[in-house]
Structures are given as structure tokens and as C-alpha cells.
Amino acid sequence: MKKAFIIIVVSLLLVSCGDKQPKGTTTTTEKPKKTIAVPSFNADSAYQFVAQQTNFGPRVPETQAHANCAEWLVSKLDGYADTVIMQEFRTRLFNDKGIDGQNIVAVFHPEAKKRIVLCAHWDSRPYADHDPDIANSRKPIDGANDGASGVGVLLECARQFKLQELPQNLGVDIVLFDLEDYGPHQEEAELYYDESVNHWALGSQYWSKHPHVYGYKAYYGILLDMVGGSNPNFPKEYYSQGYAAWVSNKVWRKAADMGYRTYFTNELGTMISDDHIPMNQIAGIPTIDIIDLQPNSSNQCFPEVWHTLNDNLEHIDKTTLGMVGDVLLHVVYEE
């Protein structure tokens, strides 16, 4: 429980003067601060949104599970947002194969000039190429943390935006990117390496070049990736701090104020190539990446379940979902 201590100082000014003020003085009336009501993030609801995504099976583009999940996501967001847009596009994979993708955009307060974009990727990795069992290397993953966790948090945020109106002058766009995780298998990474081409984050690359509204601009963006694991470590990701330090600092200050400093560590994280890169470089939107980075992991710098078959619902922690969602709602409503 938080306790607020209010100290009231009363100054007694010459009673004999009554209500008169000395000449040359000005009476200033301080305006009361506007109280901002921030809705409570429901971690149980976010968890169920993660579970529903994984129930469809691996959400690999151009599979039935992917199509079924897309239909469900559009339906859920349609019940919360003012407008929902399915942005269909065609692009090329690392091996030059053409593939269809779908970005899903939910718009709140479309008339507002000041906008924040919140995003995550909703597809899942077609290869468990970091699984400790080599026999699983070519199997698709559930992507409960890597993809579904961020989407689950944003769906719950969308539900709260519907229940409790956003500030009138603020618009929010939730963008769910497709084809983020269809980069080359690690065994083929060197074969297809080209420093001039980003084989990952294909959906965000497309949206950054062709946003859902012509000439779209946002005040800033926040990307969620792998925000559902136990005992997370959210440092200030390197590129986020380089492109949008003021956004990182705003979010991390709020997390610290809310008692989450242990997890939102005030440290500089490693360089992560993620959906926020094209948003910064192409769309020109200052965007940060809230991502769980584990410096002592045996799986590069990512959680141990990353790109393995163990990235499933068993390893999703409601407490982490709740913490991230809590911070996000406060940042948005207090903007």
C-alpha cells in the first residue's frame, strides 16, 4: 500500500490588514493539478490473449494457423478500436522466394494529431534453429514469448482503451507486424548474409515505407518483444538509446517510479536488430524496443527458450506481462 503524506503550511499574515494586499503585490491562484485516471492492467487477460495465439499453433506465414490467428486478431481489435486495417503485402524472403504477409493496425482516436504507435510482431519463427536438440532444428515454434507475449500485452491495452477513454487529444495506433521472424536458418545465415539487406523485420519494413495513413507521423513509438518470460531483464537497448533516448528515459523513469527498477535496469543493452530499426530509419518515428536481454544466457543474449520448441505457454509469466502492461498504460495515459 502506498501512503501519501501531505504537509500543509499555513502562513499568518497581519490579521489587522484584513483582505487588503500591499500595493505592488500580485495574488496568484495555483491551478489544481489534473488527476489522470490510469486503468488497471489485467495480467490474467493478457495471459489468455497469449494462450489463444499459441492455441492456433505456430503462426508461420502462409499456413492455416497463421490465417486463423489473423482472423481472430482482427475480430478482437475490431471490438476495441475505432478502425482496424488489414495491410496485405507481398515481399521476398532471404532466399528470394515471394511471400504474402499481413500487418494488422488498430486505430484509436483517428482525429487526434498527437499520436503514439505501440507495436509487436504476431508471426512466429518457422525454425527452432537454436533448439538444443538438433532433431528439432527445422520445426516451427509456438513463439509464446517471441511474438505472442507482446501482442497479448497490446490486446489487453486495447481492451483498456475501450473501457476507459484515452485522453481526448491523444491518438494511439497499435500495429502488429507480420514476417518479423522469417530470417534465414542459422545454418544458412552466412550464405545469405548481405549487410545492405535486412532479411528480418519484413512487415515493419513494409509498413515504414507504406504506413496505413499517407504521410503518417507519430510523436514516438514503443515496440514490445519477448516481454513474457520470468525474471526479465529490460536494459535500454542500444539502438533505442541512440535513436530515441528521450523515449527510453521517459519509459524507464516511469518504470522506476512504479517500483520496477530491478527489471527495467538503467543500463545500456546490446544492439538488437528488430522492428524498431526501420521505424526509426525509414518512417522517421523515434521508437524504442522493450526487449528481454539476458547477458548470461547460453543462447546469445536472449532468453534460453529463444528460437527453441520450449518457447511455449509453460514459460510465460503473468507477473512479467502485468508489469510491462502496467508501465505502458501509465506512459500512455499520462502523456
Residues contacting residue 145 through CB under 8 Å, at least 6 positions apart: 226, 227, 228, 229, 292, 303, 305, 306, 311, 315, 316
Read off the C-alpha cell for 313: 505457454
What confidence score (pLDDT) does residue 22 get?
Answer: 40
Q: Identify whether 6 is part of a domain.
A: no
pLDDT of residue 29: 54
When pLDDT is averaged across residues 104-118 and rounded to a whole number, the result is 98
With 70 as the cut, is the pLDDT of residue 4 above it? Answer: no
pLDDT in tens, 254-309: 999 999 999 999 999 999 999 999 999 999 999 999 999 999 999 999 999 999 99
Within-domain flag for 263: yes
- Look at the block and give the residue holding cell 547477458: 295
- Domain presence at residue 222: yes
pLDDT at 155: 99
| Residue in this structure with the C-alpha cell 526479465, named with its chain if needed | 232
Domain membership flag for residue 32: no
Q: What pLDDT sits at residue 12?
A: 29
In a domain, 214, yes or no: yes
- Asked, for residue 36, whether it belongs to a domain, the answer is no
* % residues pLDDT > 90 (the chain): 88
Q: Is residue 271 part of a domain?
A: yes
Q: Is the pTM of this model over 0.75?
A: yes
Domain that holds residue 296: 41-333
CATH number at residue 170: 3.40.630.10
Structure confidence by residue, pLDDT tens digits, 177-206: 999 999 999 999 999 999 889 999 999 999
Residue scoring higher pLDDT (95 or 17): 95
Express each pLDDT in 218-252 by its tens digit: 999 999 999 999 999 999 999 999 999 999 999 99
- Over the chain, what is the mean pLDDT? 92
Q: Tell whether the model's pLDDT for residue 64 goes beyond 80.
A: yes
Task: Give the total number of structural domains in the chain.
Answer: 1
Q: Is 4 domain-assigned?
A: no
Which residues fall within 8 angstroms of residue 9, CB to CB, at 6 or more apart?
none
